[in-house]
């Protein structure tokens, strides 16, 4: 499924890029925001576009070869933002964007088990080269650890029962696929409204496997440091844990918070793109 960028116009308005600016897009994805920035920064401007998922870097180079004089796509983790930026000569930039989470295409086509909608290997790693998979987490972590993950990262009210059911099941059959996990969760949580019973549990595992909150926490101070005076930092988050972190960081910074309240998608945008319903954009100026 093609990814539709959220809050595109609002990001442009928030970052307010000008001709000749240097911008870092920390989450290239399908390149929607990066592409929108290019006409604004013009032929002299440059965008450093980072993504942890190598497939996104390769796809961008293949799809938009004509932009490569303006865009430098780099595979990397934004938790190492300073090193990546300096290595590519982006040491003082006018704008930095984070559009957190995963793209629709990663959900539907990566085959790495991000979604409960298809039966796939329970991997969930954005960077398939390293770290524990979601199956490793379910099969090897202590019950207390699983409880913490489902409670803190999933905000799943039935965290204790789910953790215990995982422990019981893995003793008989280790977890291999998304279907294995969906079966366990559906045995405990019944479908209520439009929310799939496994939504929160999957969210929790994705956050744990990819160290999402830790990465964001590491990256934000580096981003502020890389901004030139009056440069702008824009972050789009999709759940309250990320948003809380961003909000707290902005309050601690000695910057001008441009968005006193987070910017959310219009009704028209949500009708076109359901993913936009939980997006919150916060912008700060150095």
Ligand X SMILES: C[S@@+](CC[C@H](N)C(=O)[O-])C[C@H]1O[C@@H](n2cnc3c(N)ncnc32)[C@H](O)[C@@H]1O
Contacts with ligand X, residue ranges (CB under 6 A):
3, 5, 27, 29-33, 50-53, 56, 77-79, 99, 101-103, 126, 215
Q: Residues in the chain, how many?
A: 286
- Report the residue number, 170 or 275, with the smaller CB distance to ligand X: 275
Q: Shortest CA distance to 26 belongs to which of 18, 34, 15?
A: 34
In this structure, are residues 4 and 28 in contact, taking their beta carbons and an 8 Å threshold?
Answer: no
Q: How far is the CB of 192 from ligand X (least distance, A)?
A: 27
- Cβ of residue 272: shortest distance to ligand X, in angstroms? 14
The helix/strand/coil state of 129 is: coil
Instruction: Give 53 or 147: the residue with its C-beta nearer to ligand X.
Output: 53
Question: Between 185 and 226, whose beta carbon lies closer to ligand X?
Answer: 226
Quote the CA–CA distance of 55 and 234 in Å, as a whole number.
24
Compute the least distance from the CB of residue 5 to ligand X, in Å: 3
β-pair type (93-99, 227-237): parallel
Please count the other Cβ atoms lying within 10 Å of the Cβ belonging to residue 72: 16
Residue 272: other Cβ atoms inside 10 A:
12
Of the pair 74, 118, the CB lying nearest ligand X is at 74
- Smallest distance, ligand X to C-beta of residue 246, A: 14
Task: Give the tokens for residue 265.
Answer: 């998608």
Q: Take residue 123 and report the two structure tokens written for it.
A: 């991997």
Residue closer to ligand X (CB basis): 128 or 188: 128
What is the 3-class SS of 101-123, one letter each residue?
A: CCCHHHHHHCCCCCCCCCCCECC
User: Which pair of tokens denotes residue 79?
Assistant: 């938790």
**Nearest approach, Cβ of residue 150 and ligand X (Å):** 21
Tell me the closest approach of the beta carbon of residue 116 to ligand X, in angstroms.
18
Q: What span, in angstroms and rounded, lies between the C-alpha atoms of 247 and 74? A: 28
Closer residue to ligand X in complex, CB, 103/115: 103
Closest chain position to ligand X (CB)? 29
């Amino acid at each position: 499924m093609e990814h539709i960028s959220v809050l595109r116009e609002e990001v442009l308005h928030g970052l307010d890029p000008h001709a000749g600016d240097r911008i870092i897009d920390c989450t290239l994805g399908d390149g929607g925001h990066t592409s929108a920035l290019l006409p604004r920064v013009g032929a002299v401007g440059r965008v450093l576009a980072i993504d942890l998922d190598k497939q996104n870097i390769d796809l961008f180079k293949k799809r938009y070869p004509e932009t490569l004089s303006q865009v430098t796509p780099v595979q990397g983790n934004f938790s190492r933002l300073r090193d990546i930026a300096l290595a590519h000569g982006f040491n003082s930039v006018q704008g930095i964007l984070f559009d957190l989470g995963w793209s629709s295409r990663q959900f539907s086509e990566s085959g790495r088990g991000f979604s409960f909608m298809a039966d796939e290997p329970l991997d969930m790693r954005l960077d398939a080269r390293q770290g524990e998979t979601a199956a490793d987490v379910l099969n090897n972590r202590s019950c207390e650890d699983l409880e913490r993950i489902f409670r803190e990262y999933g905000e799943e009210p039935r965290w204790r029962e789910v953790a215990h059911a995982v422990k019981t099941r893995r003793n008989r059959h280790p977890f291999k696929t998304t279907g294995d996990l969906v079966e366990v969760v559906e045995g405990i949580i019944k479908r209520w409204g439009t929310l799939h019973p496994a939504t929160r549990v999957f969210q929790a595992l994705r956050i744990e496997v990819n160290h999402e909150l830790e990465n964001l926490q590491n990256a934000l101070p580096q981003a502020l440091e890389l901004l030139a005076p009056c440069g702008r930092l824009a972050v789009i988050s999709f759940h309250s844990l990320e948003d809380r972190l961003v909000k707290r960081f902005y309050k601690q910074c000695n910057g001008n918070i441009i968005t006193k309240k987070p910017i959310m998608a219009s009704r028209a945008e949500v009708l076109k793109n359901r993913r936009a319903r939980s997006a919150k954009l916060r912008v700060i100026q150095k």
